[in-house]
A = this chain, B = another copy of it.
Amino acid sequence: MSRLLQDAVSEFAKLPGIGRRTALRLAMHLLKMEPESVEQMTESIARFRRDIRHCELCNNLSDTARCPICSNPERDRTTICVVEQVGDLMSIENTRQYRGLYHVLGGVISPMQGVGPSDLKIDLLLEKVASGAVKEVILAISTSVEGETTLFYILNRLKQYPAVKVSTIARGIGFGDELEYVDELTITHALLNRREVE
């Protein structure tokens, strides 16, 4: 087998969810693409890894020192939504319902994986809150064991700022979810947090 092909397949296969068979299919697909398109593809991917930065204010991925959200004068700077990762931020942005700022932790506390509070950008968050400009912190963190640990750790640290309102996003039955297939904890939450019909 060609060394060049072998190398390309091995490199594709390093990506998550891509086995050798898929990697080979991808390599074969490259041959159907224009050489310039492949060049542009690999250059874009390399450039992303080389030049991408983390926003110095919120830790969001950014092309510049401050991300477009933090730089946008129209965003409400008194509200900060704390998320685990950039993908979560993007999901929230896609709803176009939130006009505040974000804070990207870059993970969750996980002693098993050697991730402690100092590995996350929690101090950066606390600094922002300490500055007095923040009125509300929304914790949009997942409900995994690690997520809950992180949530409680942050809640605890935020206690020293009683003037700041702290909230977590609502848990409940998702739109389109079949009750039959929803886990018991979610149903319990949804029942306890039921809303009266007006």
Chain A residues with a Cβ under 8 A of chain B: 1-5, 7-8, 10-12, 14-17, 22, 24-31, 33, 35, 37-52, 60-63, 67-68, 85-87, 90, 93
Contact = CB atoms under 8 A, between A and B. Distances in A.
Given A2-B63, A90-B1, A47 B7 contact: yes
15 contacts: A2-B63, A2-B67, A4-B47, A5-B52, A10-B44, A11-B44, A11-B45, A12-B45, A14-B33, A17-B22, A30-B49, A31-B52, A35-B50, A39-B50, A42-B46
A187 B102 CA distance: 62
Contacts of A46: 38-39, 42-43
A31 B16 contact: no
Residue of A14, A24, A28, A46 with most partner-chain B CB within 10 A: A46
Contacts of A3: 63
B28 A85 contact: yes
A28 B86 contact: yes
Nearest to A38: B49
A5 B104 CA distance: 16
Contacts of A90: 1, 24
A72 to B, nearest CB: 13
Given A1-B93, A5-B86, A31-B52, 12 more contacts: A8-B44, A14-B33, A17-B22, A17-B25, A24-B90, A27-B45, A28-B86, A30-B45, A30-B48, A33-B49, A38-B50, A39-B50
